[in-house]
Amino acid sequence: MQTETVGTFSLDENVWQGVTLTNSAAKQVKTLITQDPEVRGLQLSVKQSGCAGFAYVLDLTKQPASDDLVFEHDGAKLFIPLKAMPFIDGTEVDFVREGLNQIFKFNNPKAQHACGCGESFGV
């Protein structure tokens, strides 16, 4: 009988590449947080959703969690829950205008595929 060894993974002991904001995204985050003086930044997390598996979730945050990682660019703060990092580590967050639409876009090197409508991704 052959036995297999299973390795362990610790969120706290991993070395993360981080998440970056483009100049355009940082400018938009700063615009959003000036509307409420209690808001400290933008929180980026993921949830299970859609046909591809996961969706990005963006929320303004007044009180980040104690285990959130903080990434900052030009005064704009992006808070990321530690549990989301395996799915979005290395992601570049951009803010683009396409015609009348304005949207945050995620250039995620871990995303292997996305659904047709662009609402979800898989790793």
Domain range for 93: 20-122
Query: Is the residue at 105 inside a domain?
Result: yes
Query: Is the residue at 2 inside a domain?
Result: no
Query: Is the residue at 97 inside a domain?
Result: yes
pLDDT in tens, 52-89: 577 889 999 999 999 899 999 999 999 999 999 988 89
| Residue 101, beta-bridge partner list | 98
Give the residue from 42, 120, 36 showing the smallest Cα distance to 75: 42
Distance CA 31, CA 34 (A): 5
Query: Is the residue at 58 inside a domain?
Result: yes
117, pLDDT greater than 60:
no
Q: Is 9 strand, coil or helix?
A: coil
CATH code where residue 54 lies: 2.60.300.12
